[in-house]
Amino acid sequence: MRQEPSRANFRIARPTHFLALGFGSGLMPWMPGTFGTLAAIPVYLLAAQLPLNAYLLVLALSFVLGVYVCGAAARDAGVHDHPAIVWDEVVGFLIAMVTIAPSWQAVLAGFLLFRLFDIAKPWPIRLLDRYVKGGFGIMIDDVVAGAFAFVCMQVLQELRLIA
């Protein structure tokens, strides 16, 4: 029987851990990635109020910060891509929602599409998840899952299936 990696090395009071753990949402004992994506919704709702160039700047800074904080948290935990590390889900969801106006339908569609690609890990996401290590490796598979969801969201928006 596979044992869950220890969470003993995480300290929510550490800023790197607080962010890497998605404001603590990654500490949920089940489905931490889903809870990390839920924690991304308020971040998106705030960022969606910004002009597009500012949204993209926040997104880029969140990615760069994520490479650092996820790598640091993984080293502290002694486990690469520990399930509790969910900042990558926050960034992936923000990617999925680029140019999407906030509505409950859009948030739900973006949430479901991002989780679908993040969980199913179609090519090349599975390869990136398996072979790219460090903070960049933790982030990149969710960035690509977010990009896949982004394309789907753009189609839904073009077809006027979301507001």
How distant, in Å, are the alpha carbons of 70, 88, 90 from that of 154? Answer: 29, 21, 19
**Terminal-residue alpha carbon distance, the chain:** 46
Question: Residue 4 falls within a domain, yes or no?
Answer: no
Question: Residue 9 falls within a domain, yes or no?
Answer: no
Average pLDDT of the residues of the chain: 93
Write the pLDDT tens digit of every residue in 1-42. Answer: 333 455 547 888 899 999 999 999 999 999 999 999 999 999
Residue stretches of the chain with pLDDT short of 50: 1-4, 8
Tally of CB atoms within 10 A around 85:
31
Question: Residue 73 falls within a domain, yes or no?
Answer: yes
At 163 the pLDDT is: 74
At 1 the pLDDT is: 34
At 9 the pLDDT is: 77
At 81 the pLDDT is: 87
At 3 the pLDDT is: 39
Question: Residue 7 falls within a domain, yes or no?
Answer: no
At 6 the pLDDT is: 52
Question: Residue 163 falls within a domain, yes or no?
Answer: no
135: CB partners within 8 A, 6+ apart: 66, 67, 68, 69, 70, 71, 72, 74
Type of residue found at 105: Q
- How many domains is the chain partitioned into structurally? 1
Domain extent for 26: 15-158
pTM over 0.75: yes
